[in-house]
Structure 1
Amino acid sequence: MSTTTPAVHADVAVIGSGLGAVAAALAAARAGRRVVLAARFDRLGGQATTQLVPALDEHPHVETGGVSASYRAFRDLIRARYDGVANPGGGWVSRVCCEPSAAEAAIEELLAPQVDAGRLTVLRGLVPVAARREDGRLASVRLRRGDGAATDLVADVFCDATEAGDLLPLAGAPWVVGSEGRDAYGEPLALPGGPQPGAVQSCTVGFVVEHDEEADARPVTGPAPEGYELWRDAQPFTLEIAGWDDRKHRYRMFEHGPDGHLPFWTYRRLREGAVLGGRDAALINWAGNDYADRSSIDHPQEAYDQAKALSAAFLHWLRTECPRDDGRGRGYPGLTLAPEVAGTADGYAEEPYLRESRRLRTASPVRQQDLEPVPGLARAANRPDSGGLAMYHMDLHSRIGRPASAYAPTAPFQVPLSALVAREPGNLLAAAKNLAATQVAASAYRVHQGEWAVGEAAGALAAQSCDRSLAPAEIVGDRRELTRLQARLTGDGVPIAWTLDVPPGDPRFTAVQLLAAAGALRGRRAAELDVRPQESADAEERQALHEAAARLLGEPESVFADLDPTTWHMSWGDLAVALVQRALDQAAPTAGGARV
């Protein structure tokens, strides 16, 4: 018999277990709000833990810039678990490949100060099952445990950081899933024609294996998994994979492939035994076990069960039929599941790795064209309402009924705050893969660092909504409120514009970030990711800086007409600081002001 426990109250409620949920809760709590994080699983981290993808998918600039201070702290804490080893797994897909337990521990350490201060409460084992609205706002969300017990979470602002955007339909928010179709926005990677909501990307139930080389000499005992031959032939199982250039890339298990590609085994290796001691442990997340028969959105349990069965079949193939590197014989019987590394009873992921979520539906979602390289410029099209940064190629795996993958490069891009705000209810924010982006564009935000950036922006916006007693849309739509929020974000080490040579901690960071996001970059500074703040600004660049500073207030440039003429001889970065300080002083009566 189900029971209902007393309601839980918060300023900001974050629903979800993944990296977006962690980042949103952290951002809202460090802003001083009372936050409740309602997680589905005991382990926080999503992609990095329960979904078994702790080989972090990131952009090429991650070691030097383009990420927030909190995400960098997450990476640093993972490395600290291994006494500073930069890449504990030595996997070649990422600069940080680690065991799920290390990612989990890093997350818990990041959140601990907020929990200890009483600003953050983490509730685990809860699934959202219903929502109540009042006067166009989301008043509460009902959460249910596995034993049937339910509780209502009441908050001023809600962040949906679930893996599949589960809160959107419960709250009555407009949403979309699958392909919008090429007719909608003219995106080359969208499926031809009109909407195809069933064309959801594949999901994967990854698994972790160790390798005992001596056991390779022993035959595999026991029957093949049910349906093995069908899976093997339909996928098909192979170490070849289609490249972005439509050519087959050929791999070998432990040696370089005939095309020179690095070994399959080290692709997502999570533990490098030669460095850390013990055996290697590797994650298997490959085209061979991508499941694209049923939608993980429409049929979540069936998709998980079938994807897990597919992975079991792929493991059997690796152990029995995979061509050996020496060309003599088939299969590597020494590959065995590693539950202790996976953190699960059987070595398989606790939940599927979802490449797609329900997404907020708005009139102007982020599109493929918004993320593509712009000739002569180093960045994608600028978003003045930026709340963070991300970068990953648009990477569409097979879609239900459409087996072909699709790919397009991106330029360094931003997280527009307007893409996080639901039209209704007015106090609901997207905080993970469910931002207002098309299927094509969302495929570039879905990875670890992108999801973190979306969640962090949503958490900061939620906190300011509470601080100012304004709906999130009012903050994003009011230039002074938006400037105040962006100043808060940059003050917390969150970059909102790509300026790699002015990192968090630089005294010019906030000023450069605010003006760059407001459109101040011209000439060489627009053509490169380094803005050279120490160099002088010519007349055109000074004009661009003045215009951008005026935009921070939503007012004409004349508010800066009386600026001391000596500023004309300042460096570009020092002039940015002077202008932004003036702008924030002007904004102080209504937006609270901030020093830079």
Structure 2
Amino acid sequence: MSLNRRRLLQSAVAATGTVSIAPWLIAQTAKEQPELSADVAIIGGSLGGCAAAIGALRRGLKVVMTEETSWIGGQLTSQIVPPDEHGHIETHGSNTSYRKFRNDIREHYRQEYPLTDAAKANARLNPGGGSVSRLCHEPKVALAVLNQIFAPYLKTGQLRLLLETVPVAAEMSGDRIASVTVQSAKSADKHVVIAPYFLDATELGDLLPLTGAEYVTGAEAKSETGELHAADQAEPDNQQSFTACFPMQYVDGQDFVGDKPADYEFWRNYVPDLTPAWSGKLLDLHYSSPRDLKPKKLDFDPTGKPTKALNLWLYRRIVDASNFVPGTYEGSVTLVNWPQNDYMLGNLVGVTPEEKQKHIDQAKQLSLSLFYWLQTECPRADGGSGFAGLRLVPEMTGTKDGIAMYPYVRESRRILAEFTVKEQHVGRQQRSEITGLSGNDLKAAQFSDSVGIGYYHIDLHPSSGGNNYIDFASLPFQIPLGSMVPKRIENLIPACKNLGVTHLTNGCYRLHPVEWCIGEAAGCLVSYCLEKSISPRAVRNTPDKLADFQRSLTSEGMELAWK
């Protein structure tokens, strides 16, 4: 064993009170892979992983962070989805660092893009003007801002970033992670990462099975959780659909129609087998309205003409050409993350690597088929069909095919935590039934160990198990520290969608600003634990330490309660 590795393991001992290093680890004589050591290892460069790194680096920790793709930022970048946020986001209801990040995106446009004078002067610039968010923007801009944040730390070596790298093995010492082996997708080179703490910031909770951590997938049974909307039986393989997102641009008068996708006929005629029933064919301008599941009409028109129903072109538009000096863009660009390209025929979790890749490939075929259908068969208001001027925009995705480099993931493995957030804590209807309150008097459960806040309705897309939308109101909620403490493993912390929530409450904890809060809290927690030589579990269960940790969070701009 190298001296460096022994010292890092001894550091872990000092931080957590473990009395000895595992004998098998001390006696190891086999040739070891190159080692990387840090105060904290962040496995996964998701949005939560980036926020965790920001929190840890700000507090002076040395960080190693890996990322499966070539872009850090997860939902915002490699998955290319503009932020889904609550209506108060510009002023409160998120971390100061998150709002600064949003403002830095706007400032990047002002400094680097030829905006019109009106757009440049708009303090709340929405570059794409999409209706889903107050800040719809290109994924590369979010990536540029994140890279700018991390550049000084990379230069000094405080941060080591390994792109296109995945975890492949973990060494355990009792209930502690001793090291994680990561492998490069490009060269198959491996590194052994050693640190006192490991954060799982992967999109699918990939560290959990490698470390033997207890976790859950899919839908829990009502008898287990007591949730009003839970399933009658546990269904681990019943998971939310994922989406192969893509941006597309419209150039009036052009014809970009290419070859028909290989699986076009299948997807053109596909009718989802869901309960309650879907509205008809998936490739159609009707869908099941999430709240009441009745067929609902949508419209699609990229030409700018007014529509009677919601125009999908405007919904997630990430470039509004009118915000830029004429000639900057040939046409506006929208991001396609719609009901029509939700993939529900299989899962990314709980399957073999081969099956996982098969589902990703099929999801891409669905998205390419939807794109071709929009070009050729989508009904137009004038009675015609299709918009031949639509084109894919691979220069915005960093991929050859114009599809996002990673699927948009809505549901991960979730740790079995000291505390699990359930519907009765945050769901409006069940909270009202429990408390007898309504209106402004009705609040989500208050958590004394809060480390952040968030707000979004409970939004579950159609699932691989055949459920149609599950969508109902929630209340502004808190993120309890107990949901970030695994039941058994002492130095593993979730920093993403893999915290202690249920299939249902994941539906409101999975959104961009909430994931940021989870990640930043995780990064700060490691710093506090190392400084005080205390475990995360002890922080949560020692009142004076918990209060001290929470004061440190609020001093750094993290909101712990709704005003």
TM-score scaled by length of structure 1: 0.79
Once the two structures are TM-superposed, the CA of residue 342 in structure 1 deviates from its matched residue by 2.1
Counterpart residue type for residue 76 of structure 2: A
Report the equivalent of 1:35. 63
| CA 1:457–1:219: 2 relative to 1, 3 Å | closer
Report the equivalent of 2:489. 425
Q: How does 1:203-214 map to 2 (within 5 A)?
A: 203-214=242-253
Counterpart residue type for residue 227 of structure 1: D
Counterpart residue type for residue 158 of structure 1: F
What is the aligned length?
A: 490
Contact map agreement 1:366 1:438 (CA 8 A) in 2: yes
Matched, 1:81 2:129: no
Larger-Rg structure? 1
Once the two structures are TM-superposed, the CA of residue 129 in structure 1 deviates from its matched residue by 0.4
Contact map agreement 2:177 2:211 (CA 8 A) in 1: yes
Matched, 1:325 2:384: no
Q: How does 1:433-582 map to 2 (within 5 A)?
A: 433-499=497-563
| Among 109, 116, 134, the residue aligned to 1:95 | 134
Unpaired runs of 5+ in structure 2?
1-30, 111-119, 272-281, 432-437
| Among 46, 50, 54, the residue aligned to 1:22 | 50
Separation (CA, whole Å) in 2 of partners of 1:454 and 1:447: 11
Once the two structures are TM-superposed, the CA of residue 242 in structure 1 deviates from its matched residue by 2.1
Matched, 1:349 2:349: no
Unpaired runs of 5+ in structure 1?
500-596
Report the equivalent of 2:346. 294
| Among 263, 267, 270, the residue aligned to 2:315 | 267
Query: C-alpha deviations, 1:298-325, integer Å up to 9, x for none?
Result: 2431221110011111111111110012
Once the two structures are TM-superposed, the CA of residue 221 in structure 1 deviates from its matched residue by 5.0
SS in 1 for 2:267: helix
Q: How does 1:105-144 map to 2 (within 5 A)?
A: 105-144=144-183
Counterpart residue type for residue 347 of structure 2: S
Query: C-alpha deviations, 1:337-362, integer Å up to 9, x for none?
Result: 01112222221010101100000013
Report the equivalent of 1:197. 236
Q: How does 1:274-423 map to 2 (within 5 A)?
A: 274-276=322-324, 277-278=328-329, 279-297=331-349, 298=351, 299-326=355-382, 328-362=383-417, 364-373=419-428, 374=431, 375=438, 376-377=440-441, 379-423=443-487
Once the two structures are TM-superposed, the CA of residue 119 in structure 1 deviates from its matched residue by 2.9
Identity, % of aligned pairs?
Answer: 39
SS in 1 for 2:403: coil
Report the equivalent of 1:46. 74
Separation (CA, whole Å) in 2 of partners of 1:186 and 1:256: 48
Report the equivalent of 2:298. 251
| Among 263, 280, 283, the residue aligned to 1:237 | 283
Once the two structures are TM-superposed, the CA of residue 378 in structure 1 deviates from its matched residue by 5.6
Report the equivalent of 2:8. none
Separation (CA, whole Å) in 2 of partners of 1:174 and 1:78: 38
Counterpart residue type for residue 285 of structure 2: L
Per mean C-alpha deviation after superposition, the further-off stretch among 114-123 and 229-238 is 114-123
Matched, 1:158 2:198: yes
Tell me the C-alpha RMSD between the 2 structures.
1.8
Query: C-alpha deviations, 1:344-390, integer Å up to 9, x for none?
Result: 22210101011000000136411111112353436311111000111
TM-score scaled by length of structure 2: 0.84
Report the equivalent of 2:98. 71
SS in 1 for 2:552: helix
SS in 1 for 2:39: strand
Counterpart residue type for residue 228 of structure 1: Y
| CA 1:493–1:363: 2 relative to 1, 3 Å | closer
Once the two structures are TM-superposed, the CA of residue 186 in structure 1 deviates from its matched residue by 2.4
Separation (CA, whole Å) in 2 of partners of 1:90 and 1:248: 27
Contact map agreement 1:417 1:458 (CA 8 A) in 2: no
| CA 1:271–1:424: 2 relative to 1, 3 Å | same
Higher-RCO chain (CA-CA 8 Å, sequence separation at least 6): 2
Contact map agreement 2:247 2:403 (CA 8 A) in 1: yes
SS in 2 for 1:81: helix
Contact map agreement 2:418 2:487 (CA 8 A) in 1: no
